[in-house]
Amino acid sequence: MTDNVLYVQKGPATLTEMSGTEVAEALKHTDVLLLPVGATENHGAHLPLGTDTMEAREICRRVALRMQVDGHPVVIGPVIPFGTSSFHMGFPGTVTLTSSTLITLLKEVGLSLYKTGFRKFAFIHGHDGSLPSMMVAAQDIVDMTPDAQVMVLNWLTPLSKVYHTIQVSKKGEGHGGEGETSRILVTHPEIVHPERGIPHHLDPTVMAKIQGPEHIKTGGAIFYATRSYKDHTPYGHIGDPSLAKPETGERGYAVIVDWVVSVLKRDYFS
Ligand SMILES: [Zn+2]
């Protein structure tokens, strides 16, 4: 155990790191708030438990920078570090909220910030398992206010369409695999250990049910509820983390950020 710096977090600051005065100043220029919704869950021996929280924050960070350059400032809300991760509970360190708790949490965070003056919200996940609760919370906030707008952005769908062009692997890379490991290598290289991740791929028909084109989270029309990741992988990850490269992570973020920026501009700034 040491007191070394673990990693460096680049700005812009989230609401957690801003003063109330700074938020009041920001509200003179925008009423748009991005809410990163992460998770604390196993991603294999090579990635930290906060991987999804780090990804959600990084997406919002990059989006906020792009929007600022384009003259459309946004504020990044407090980073939510927990999600509904029940199917990862077979692995040590995972923390899960029940869906009703996550719905209440997101609703109360959103309503608090609504009272502060924000009117347009974009919930951005780091963990797709939380999407159903995020959608319920979004609808609740709209139902409970006269003029809030809330959208939930699932970047997995646009990203999954181009996975084959940005990843090296020709096998199914999923949770904690080449793509996700590459994205954490971009931001937190000090705490990623790709060499510790043993390659583990699923039968294509099983993989299709987890994140194939038929699954609703990756652009299809069927929702398959997940029982336990232990049924699929003894390590908790799916794919080959040793293939991960920062450049691959950058290409992934570019796709995600381009899409989120285009949606925000179209729906909140036109
Ligand atoms: Zn993840």
Ligand 1 centroid to 239 CA: how many Å? 13
Ligand 1 centroid to 1 CA: how many Å? 26
Q: With contact defined as beta carbons under 8 Å apart, do 143 and 170 qualify? A: no
Q: What is the pLDDT of residue 177?
A: 96
Ligand 1 centroid to 21 CA: how many Å? 34
Distances (CA, A) of 55 to 1, 28, 128, 179: 26, 28, 12, 11
Ligand 1 centroid to 43 CA: how many Å? 6
Ligand 1 centroid to 253 CA: how many Å? 14
Distances (CA, A) of 211 to 64, 204, 215: 28, 10, 6
- 70 CB neighbour count, 10 Å cutoff: 12
Ligand 1 centroid to 51 CA: how many Å? 6
Could you tell me the pTM of the whole model?
0.97
Spatial distance between the Cα atoms of 99 and 84, rounded to a whole number of angstroms: 6
Q: Report residues of the chain scoring pLDDT below 70.
A: none
Q: What is the pLDDT of residue 212?
A: 82
pLDDT tens sequence across 80-116: 999 999 999 999 999 999 999 999 999 999 999 999 9
Please give the CATH superfamily to which domain 15-268 belongs.
Creatininase (3.40.50.10310)
Ligand 1 centroid to 176 CA: how many Å? 6
Distances (CA, A) of 148 to 112, 113, 178, 182: 12, 11, 38, 36
Collapsing DSSP states into helix, strand and coil, what is residue 47?
A: coil
Ligand 1 centroid to 194 CA: how many Å? 15
Q: What is the pLDDT of residue 97?
A: 98
